[in-house]
Amino acid sequence: MFKELNPLLHSELRLAVMSILIGVESADFVYLREQTGATAGNLSVQLDKLAKAGYIGIEKGFRGKMPRTVCRITEVGRDAFAEYVDALKSYIK
């Protein structure tokens, strides 16, 4: 039987962000934008959705005079990602 796929993670961009964050301690906005090829506006909206779900934490600050946004995956996010991958495996067996 197929398991239900988490609709929040099933979005291509949100899945890409989570896939990047699962393998690093943190990533800044510019790095995520470059790696995903997303526009700044779209990435910002998707990061907000992930943060509201508790899947990522977002820290805003400055590096010198330049604004900097850093994202980290949370334990809730790690668990949700693991469940998503497990559910996806039920489709490819």
> For the chain, what is the domain count?
1
Answer whether 56's CB lies under 8 Å from 72's CB: yes
Burial environment of residue 89 by CB neighbours within 10 A (0 to 12, 13 to 18, 19 or more): exposed
In the numeric block, which tokens belong to residue 72? Answer: 């980290």
Domain containing residue 65: 12-92
For 42-87, write each residue's pLDDT tens digit: 999 999 999 999 999 999 999 899 999 999 999 999 999 999 999 9
pLDDT of 93 reads 77
pLDDT at 59: 97
Tell me the percentage of the chain whose pLDDT exceeds 70.
Answer: 100
Evaluate whether residue 29 is within a structural domain: yes
Kindly report, residue by residue over 9-45, the tens digit of the pLDDT: 999 999 999 999 999 999 999 999 999 999 999 999 9
Q: Is residue 7 part of a domain?
A: no
> Which tokens belong to 67?
């604004």
Is this model's pTM higher than 0.95 or not?
A: no
Judge whether 47 lies within some domain: yes
User: Does residue 4 form part of some domain?
Assistant: no
Q: Is residue 6 part of a domain?
A: no
Q: What are the backbone angles phi and psi of residue 11, rounded to the nearest 5°?
A: -70, 135
The reported pLDDT for the residue numbered 57 is 98
- Residue 46 covered by a domain: yes
Q: Where residue 56 sits, what CATH number does that domain have?
A: 1.10.10.10
Model pLDDT, residue 2? 87
In a domain, 2, yes or no: no
- Helix H, strand E, coil C: the string for the chain is CCCCCCCCCCCHHHHHHHHHHCCCCCEEHHHHHHHHCCCHHHHHHHHHHHHHCCCEEEEEEEECCEEEEEEEECHHHHHHHHHHHHHHHHHHC
